Chain A
């Protein structure tokens, strides 16, 4: 009697173990699938960048935008898989990682995460080229793209996303990389745009008057904006990293709702600002301010979307647009020519997002203050500044070298002809062949 009872207990126990193993392996599969689907959507941000920036430039430079945005996927994937993933997620010290260069010995469990993180690196390296369109040289483009995705971004990601990283150890809180991707690339944008100089016909009368250079295609810009919305939802939701832990589903749902609220609030803030505050007489419902506003909101909400209540997301939408306006004014004052407003959007939105986390999270300064809340604000603010200084200084160093060899921009006559014909010898639109 006793032995058959023991046998049944053993049999039960072994059946239980089998079920548990099956469940664990299934959960791992689901996590991988989640990262791959979200990563694929984030990868679709690349055409979003292409469409938006291609619509913004003049017709004579469209092919160069298309070329650069497409080749960005190539350069960033090669450099990220060669050195980037190793520097950010290989085991190492507080500054950077040392394992998995060229993905050698990459374990199976980390492959989906590698793919997902690559799509973030592709975004980080695509942003800087947006602000220097129409005048930047191929050499400059290739070098800062490779540098950003192979070195600058991975190290900043290591500081924030791994257990060893010094910023994460201090308590830096940046869920979907508002600071690491957006504020960091905003600082790169500022360095690149400042060192490259403005477009030739941007400032007239000896640098006094700023000329408006109209976008050549609004449909492309708006399609790009829609694609950004599509990709940013996955950008934020996928940063949860897993779907199999308990509570994951509700956090992801909260993330998607917060993303939408913040983006749309910012967009409406921009719309109302331009209609009623900038120039009431013009009665201008400006699509560009609406779209830029939505970008600011999308970028700012990344840091804290998993922790905010909906009211926090709403407030952040308004506040981030105000910081965007402030930085836009500073950029104009410095006479830095920014083709797509990238500096103001990324820097303003990214830093606003970083500041917002300790303010609006559930036990934050504005919602439920305690003794430890100011420390969180200090860390996020200070850490954000350190990340921006990191990317700004390295980009400045790169541009010092480029400017020494005069390789940082194309020649004035080339710029006048348009980069399409000069670099690519191809026209963007050819409606003449109706014969």
Chain B
């Protein structure tokens, strides 16, 4: 371990040496911080995979998992090719102009690029979750290219690059309620609107047929992974750990995330059980509804978690659920089919989070009312709306082209068979009969009991158990 050469006859130079060592160590630790947080945010991709896979019918599971795995691959290529350049390559107020294909990227920006890629992966994967069970591969690939290469980077440039025009106006969005979630939600809305609902989902008289998730354990595993990743999503958005107040800020961020999620979950649960007609008559504790509430909490807190006092995150979580409910009811009314409820969560929760950051933030209306706090609210409302409208229009434009060539969804026959077999020729589950349930006793007839098992005179005697049939799938 090399330590700086302390020169007793020149104390100031020695102090400068120690100062330089400390500065370089701080840089290393900042990079370490971004790498660890980025890896945990990357694990969100697995969360999306399981949540969406559990939410669809079992004949589409391979397709869902395929799409999730692919969007990490394809999305990363396009983000690193032109996305990061458009997002953080300096440039003008609209977009960046340097570092295309990462040419010229300095070493000390690489960790930042990795971390921002994990956010881009999250934003991109949100959009496709509303389209499951009927979307074509062409639509999927083109929308991934558009979102991770152009739309999301431009939006993040506006809000997070120092020269972006929204940032210059004062738009405040710490971990991306608007930039990631509202953008993904409104893009998903455009895609779901243009793709059309699944066959048999809505009837002519306005009824909505429920389509049950095929595996609650997968849905719940996805939700837990979301929780795990959301903490790193918010904490990592601080981008540094070496400045003087950083530790306190990220600790507050983690606490606020937990409190907001707990509050939104509890609100959704109690509302659904005691305040809806179906909850009161059937008296059920609905798990999917509760999970949607908790996702809304995770999305809503992103914008202002570094500034909220803990009581504010409790309030924001509670109110955010009602923003979700509003968008959810609107989508049912307009017969827009969302396979995983991602549009209400992301768009409703994301936009409300942006508003909430302006209201409950440390220079917001509640905590320090003044003219400038009204301006902050105005900027956030405006900025969130612009982001949502921009991403909606960009995906709408893509889908107009796709619909012209009728490439936006699979044929009805393919949808009926299930995309697993139609598109991938690979069923997700194989339900074979299991003849042997449990072995109770084993007797070896000869000493060579490890001899090959022959079906005619098998060396083992087995007894069958009659217990409940179990399904191999999980």
Contact = CB atoms under 8 A, between A and B. Distances in A.
Interface stretch (A89-97, A212-220, A345-353, A367-375): A212-220
A166 interface: no
Interface in B246-297: 246-248, 250-252, 254-255, 258-259, 261-263, 265-266, 269, 282, 284-288, 290-291, 294
A281 B224 contact: no
Contacts of A74: 261-262, 265-266, 269, 294
B235 A36 contact: yes
B385 interface: no
A239 B255 CA distance: 18
Contact of B15 (A15, A103, A214): A15
Interface string B205-219: 000000111111101
Interface in B321-378: none
B417 to A, nearest CB: 9
A39 interface: yes
A44 B228 contact: yes
A304 to B, nearest CB: 28
B287 A219 contact: no
A43 interface: yes
Interface in B184-219: 211-217, 219
A403 interface: no
A284 to B, nearest CB: 8
B221 A19 contact: no
Interface stretch (A27-35, A188-196, A312-320): A27-35
A39 B258 CA distance: 12
B172 interface: no
Nearest to A63: B216
Interface string A130-164: 00000000100000000000000000000000000
B255 A71 contact: no
Interface string A8-51: 10011001100100110110111111011101100110110011
B48 interface: no
A182 interface: no
Interface in A374-433: 423-431, 433
Interface string B15-48: 1001100100110010001001000100000000
A427 B223 CA distance: 18
A67 interface: yes
Interface residues of B, number: 81
A59 B214 contact: no
Contact of A40 (B57, B231, B252, B439): B231
B450 to A, nearest CB: 9
Contact of A81 (B18, B255, B290): B255
Contacts of B431: 431
Interface string A64-96: 001101110111011001000000000000000
Contact of A12 (B15, B40, B214, B437): B15
11 contacts: A12-B15, A29-B244, A30-B29, A36-B231, A67-B287, A69-B224, A73-B265, A81-B258, A424-B286, A424-B287, A433-B214
Interface of B: 11-12, 15, 18-19, 22, 25-26, 29, 33, 36, 40, 57-59, 211-217, 219-221, 223-225, 227-228, 231-232, 235, 241-248, 250-252, 254-255, 258-259, 261-263, 265-266, 269, 282, 284-288, 290-291, 294, 310-311, 416, 418, 429, 431, 437-439, 441-443, 467-468, 470-471, 473-474
